[in-house]
Amino acid sequence: MGGLTALTAAAAALAAGVLAAVLLIQRRRMRRLAARMEEFLTTGGKPLDFSVREDSLAPLHNAAAELENQVLLGRERLAEEYQRTSDLTADISHQLKTPLASLRLFCELDSGAHMAEELDQIERMERLIHALLRLERLCADGYEFSFSEHDAAGIVRAAWDSLSSVFPGRRLEIRGEARIRCDAKWMREAYMNLLKNACEHTREGGVITVTLERTPLAFSGSVEDDGGGVPPQDARRLFERFYRVPGQDTGGAGLGLAIVREIIRRHHGAVRAENGEKGLRVVIDMPMIESAVPAAALPRAR
């Protein structure tokens, strides 16, 4: 009887050991599966191969593989759609440049009573075409970005230097400092568009406040004017192309903030607008990624 009891106990211990080993193996496979899925989502690598095992984890593995393939297919279709849109915009822009150049020449030759107004409208159309083409190429990932560490305050000052003579009487105030990993040329263009928008809504003698904050994992920067802000329902739409707040038409093309959004997207971040104490505040939030990851591999921040 004692021998039977010992044998039963040994069998139970063996079964428990086998079960523990199986559970350990399954946990390890689950961790590897989670790591592979995270790698796919962050770097855009090769999707999972389908499993041919006949065990309890095979359905989960194959469901993850199918999901990754669907995500990859969606990315490819989205990239193709953006490319078609970019090509169409480029074709239209190219076709418009020649007649606009001819129209400018004829206006200058005619020297009519309204020549100045005509030339002004032609220049506005040329700026619109250039901005629209730039935006569409950004949406289609048509520009190469080069990432390295830069002083954010220096980028803001460089952007301000190109605008301060156009908007005399406005004053820039920078609060805080931060070193960020970015493409300096494109980040300068983003801040130039934000500062231009702020200048257009800031009275002469007013102050535009730029705030820079950096943590080990993220960067947050804001640009705030003192123009009184916008209705909350309009703040959500400011980054749509061609959108203008009713009653606040500044003569721009309505593409500057849309370009900012695409530039920040290429830096894996997001941008939003909100009303501050004195006016509109536009906030940039970006993760601090040590190595450059292709923007196409990450989901769009909207």
Question: What is residue 48's DSSP assignment?
Answer: P
- Long-range contacts from 53-59, C-beta under 8 angstroms, 24+ separation: 56/26, 57/26, 57/29, 57/30, 57/33
**Residue 292 pLDDT more than 50?**
no
pLDDT of residue 7: 62
> At the top level of CATH, which class does the domain 148-297 belong to?
alpha beta
CA–CA separation, 280 and 278 (whole Å): 7
Q: Where are the domains of the chain?
A: 148-297
What tokens were used for 196?
A: 């231009």
CA-closest candidate to residue 199, choices 124, 280, 300, 125: 280
Looking at every residue in the chain, the average pLDDT score rounds to 81
Query: Band of the pLDDT at 224, cuts 50, 70, 90?
Result: very high
pLDDT of residue 290: 61
For residues 122 and 100, the answer to whether their CB atoms sit within 8 Å is yes
Separation in Å, CA 259 to CA 38, 241, 254: 29, 8, 10
**Residue 117 pLDDT more than 60?**
yes
**Residue 302 pLDDT more than 60?**
no
Tell me which residue has tokens 């820039």.
Answer: 172
**Residue 149 pLDDT more than 80?**
yes
Comparison of pLDDT for 213 and 28, the residue scoring more? 213
Query: Band of the pLDDT at 132, cuts 50, 70, 90?
Result: confident
For residues 292 and 147, the answer to whether their CB atoms sit within 8 Å is yes
Comparison of pLDDT for 136 and 161, the residue scoring more? 161
**Residue 223 pLDDT more than 90?**
yes
pLDDT of residue 299: 41
**Residue 9 pLDDT more than 80?**
no
**Residue 301 pLDDT more than 80?**
no
CA–CA separation, 138 and 90 (whole Å): 12
C-alpha Rg value of the chain to the nearest Å: 28
Give me the percent of the chain exceeding a pLDDT of 70.
Answer: 83
Least confident stretch, 11-25, 38-52, 133-147, 161-175: 11-25
Average confidence (pLDDT) over 264-287: 92
Query: Band of the pLDDT at 249, cuts 50, 70, 90?
Result: low
Average confidence (pLDDT) over 26-39: 76
Average confidence (pLDDT) over 29-43: 75
What is the β-pairing status of strands 179-182 and 148-151? antiparallel
pLDDT of residue 273: 93
For residue 56, give the 3-state DSSP assignment: coil
Buried b (16+ CB within 10 A) or exposed e, 12-44: eeeeeeeeeeeeeeeeebeeebeebbeebeeeb
Average confidence (pLDDT) over 79-95: 75
